[in-house]
Structure 1
Amino acid sequence: MILISRHLIPKRYAGLTLWPVIFLKTPELRNDPVLVNHEKIHLRQQAELLVLPFYVLYGLEWLYGLLKYRDIHRAYRQISFEREAYTNEQNPNYLKTRDSWRFTYYFFNAS
């Protein structure tokens, strides 16, 4: 399900996924297949981890990155869930061929 909310999404971002909803900043973004695919990848990750552990791991990875890089944006981009989503967001068939728990590849193979 996709909902529109200008207020829920941080300024620098266009979308946000909170199981089971994808929030987009503007209605026009529904037509952005790359953004929607990116957020659908997050839905799959969240489902695999039964939702709550996803958010715990996401937050811990972000905090680790913040301590390591001292840069909010870089810490965000280094989160394994984000690396999987950004790497594969332009592949419309990714979720059809994706192996279960694929985000672990990105977790154990830090860039």
Structure 2
Amino acid sequence: MKVVRNNIIPFGKGYGAINLFGILFAKHNMAVTPEVINHEMIHSRQMRELLFLPFYIIYVVEWLINIVRYGGNTRRAYYNIAFEREAYRHSNDLDYLSHRRHFAQWRKQ
């Protein structure tokens, strides 16, 4: 995975990295560990399965719905996006992508 270090993307102080179309943009002070790379590689797999654009549309719509669901708590809304739940659940399993099932973000675990 290509990593681009910068001080602009991702926007906001609470975020250290973002995966845009398979490229990881990370702030200079962000520790890019194997677990972070694995988390973002899981997102890359999700993106490819959904042909990229639908991934981003579903991601944003689910986040907005979650903001309403969780009374404006944007952090809780973020952690409850199906894509994030899968990626965080398996970040420490560096072998996860070798046995991940298609559309695992929507399967019962």
Residue 75 of structure 2 is matched in structure 1 by 73
For residues 30-109 of structure 1, the aligned pairs below 5 Å read 30=32, 32-70=33-71, 71-105=73-107
Distance across 2 between alignment mates of 1:102 and 1:50: 15
Coordinate RMSD, CA, aligned = 1.6
Bigger proportion of residues as helix: 1
Structure 1 residue 12, shift from structure 2 partner: 1.1
Q: List structure 1 segments (4+ residues) > 4 angstroms apart after TM superposition.
A: none
TM-score normalised to the size of structure 1?
0.88
The change in CA–CA distance for 1:50 and 1:90 in structure 2 (over 3 A counts) is same
The change in CA–CA distance for 1:83 and 1:28 in structure 2 (over 3 A counts) is closer
Preserved CA contact (<8 Å) 2:16 2:30: no
Structure 1 residue 24, shift from structure 2 partner: 1.3
Structure 1 residue 6, shift from structure 2 partner: 1.8
Distance across 1 between alignment mates of 2:30 and 2:81: 27
Structure 1 residue 104, shift from structure 2 partner: 1.4
Preserved CA contact (<8 Å) 2:43 2:87: yes
Distance across 2 between alignment mates of 1:20 and 1:35: 13
Deviations 1:31-56 (A, max 9, x none): x1111111111111011100000000
Deviations 1:30-88 (A, max 9, x none): 4x111111111111101110000000000110011000102000000000000000000
Identity %: 36
Preserved CA contact (<8 Å) 2:17 2:30: no
Gaps of at least 5 residues in structure 2 are none
Gaps of at least 5 residues in structure 1 are none
